[in-house]
Chains A and B, each alone.
Chain A
């Protein structure tokens, strides 16, 4: 199994139930993890699990000092994708279940999504705003289909979605979404100005008491 998983992980991919069910389940076993770790340690890498346990990926395993340049590079990539992915998840929630954030393994039926967006002016407007989030989302054709294609393509390129059924145009969220949730969870915890409505309410109450 390692010979199949190792190249994927080394390429920077996330191994999860959606991308490689067997490989993921093998990595979940103690024996699989030991074999994989022994292999990756030799090339100064560690097998790491996302906080929610939905995917595996590789981290630096160099002993001693942290390679700042590598960290900065990763951070720049994350920074670039934070806002568009939030907007995409919001769009998916608004088009489906507003209270239900997508989970790794969830499906997106492209035709149904496109229909919902086309029939809802607010969603079309949300989709249009993607073009302002970077050149990756810029389109010359401003139809809902062209814009949605661009957004979906970029999410596939970033590794958050994979096309599982070409004919039915069905996409699935990958385990990398779990990695993303870990990042935004960290972001929320470490940015005091980002507060939930409940936290804002509590703060107001405390202020009024004082």
Chain B
């Protein structure tokens, strides 16, 4: 006998792939490769022949796998409560009849059966509720795939609702009245079922509520998964794709109006008497921070300047400046005034690379540097610019030693100047 079990389990293990396929796909079709193995499994009563030259798992093994793997959703699970209640109703009727006939033996037998039935029904309801609660708590954790989870969810929701409806109908039936006159069975009935009914109904109602929520969630999850896949696919197909400028819409969506984070910082109110003590405690408990870094001033070391015999030589005076200085020295002797342009022409050989315009600018600059104290009299010969009326074109400058700082202007026909 023991050997039979070992042989069976070995066969199950050896042909696990076939058994798994038959379980998940409903049936396996005969092929040349699997023909011998199928026959062997058929012989061991693991598979049974099906239509179209195929095999399916025997019901007992299929049920075992479904129960173990918790995927038995689409088929009956637990007890058929309708049958149990019908049986209870029948027993109560029979008990009442026997009681009337005065058959004590049968009356006692029915009484015991009714008491057992009350207890059985209560246990089965409890088991059913516990099973449903486990599924709800784990969110059908043992089942893979949202579609399958949703299908199971729908099944269990229908089942939980049917049981709740059945219990409510039973609760209001005339069974309680029938048992009312019989102490033992009415006590058992009340204790096992009537008193427990509100608890059963509340639990079932909670389960239904959670399952309804899950059903909605599973549908949402399915939709969202599709959305994520679609967007991911779109983004891979279009690497440069960018989100449209939704922010520029007249009425941006609510999620775009998210408030900018606010950084808050508070300080203790040390003047608030009730908290002074607490703050002092806190302050005392804070460890000393690192000592402030002290920096020692380094004594100033006198820098000894080594005297050398070398002295700094001033850079040579530019030629143009030297010329301007000489021109003003020459003009200082004249009271009638000296024309800068004439002096330039007379000394042009000594002023190579310096044009007339640059020379006039230098004369003006030299005059400006000397300032009013030098008492030069200066007359500008030129005309106003026809377009830029704030500017003047200077053709020549007459410099003379005067009694005060004076700038005069004499109109002159257009000529090269500044």
Q: Which residues of A approach B to under 8 Å, CB–CB?
A: 7, 10-12, 45, 48, 50, 52, 57-60, 66, 68, 70-75, 78-79, 82-83, 86-87, 89-90, 93, 97-101, 103, 179, 181-188, 190-191, 193-197
Contacts and interface: CB of A to CB of B under 8 A. Distances in A.
B263 A194 contact: no
Interface stretch (B52-60, B228-236, B378-386, B401-409): B228-236
A196 B230 contact: yes
Contacts, number: 118
B243 interface: yes
A73 B258 CA distance: 10
A181 B224 contact: yes
Interface of B: 144-147, 217, 220-222, 224-232, 234-235, 242-248, 251-264
Given A12-B261, A179-B255, A101 B247 contact: no
B221 to A, nearest CB: 5
A72 B246 CA distance: 9
Nearest to A72: B247
B259 A86 contact: no
Given A71-B256, A99-B225, A195-B230, A82 B261 contact: no
Contact of A12 (B231, B248, B260): B260
7 contacts: A71-B247, A75-B246, A86-B235, A90-B229, A184-B228, A191-B244, A194-B234
A170 B225 CA distance: 23
Given A71-B252, A86-B235, A97-B144, A187 B258 contact: no
Nearest to A87: B232
A186 B253 contact: yes
Contacts of B227: 101, 181, 184-185, 188, 196
A186 B246 CA distance: 10
Contacts of A72: 247
Contacts of B262: 10-12
Contacts of A183: 255
A12 B259 contact: yes
Contact of A100 (B146, B232, B248, B253): B146
Nearest to B251: A66
Contacts of B259: 12, 45, 58-60, 70
B181 to A, nearest CB: 51
Contacts of B263: 11
Given A73-B260, A90-B232, A48 B254 contact: yes
The 7 closest A-B CB pairs, nearest first, are A12-B261, A75-B247, A101-B224, A101-B225, A58-B259, A59-B257, A10-B262
Given A10-B264, A99-B146, A101-B221, 15 more contacts: A10-B261, A12-B261, A58-B258, A68-B247, A71-B252, A74-B247, A75-B243, A79-B243, A90-B232, A98-B225, A181-B224, A183-B255, A184-B228, A186-B255, A196-B230
B390 to A, nearest CB: 45
B222 A99 contact: yes
A190 B259 CA distance: 23
A149 B273 CA distance: 50
Contacts of A184: 227-228, 231
Nearest to B253: A186
A93 B228 contact: yes
A196 B226 contact: yes
A57 B264 contact: no
B170 to A, nearest CB: 36
A132 B258 CA distance: 28
Contacts of A188: 227, 230-231
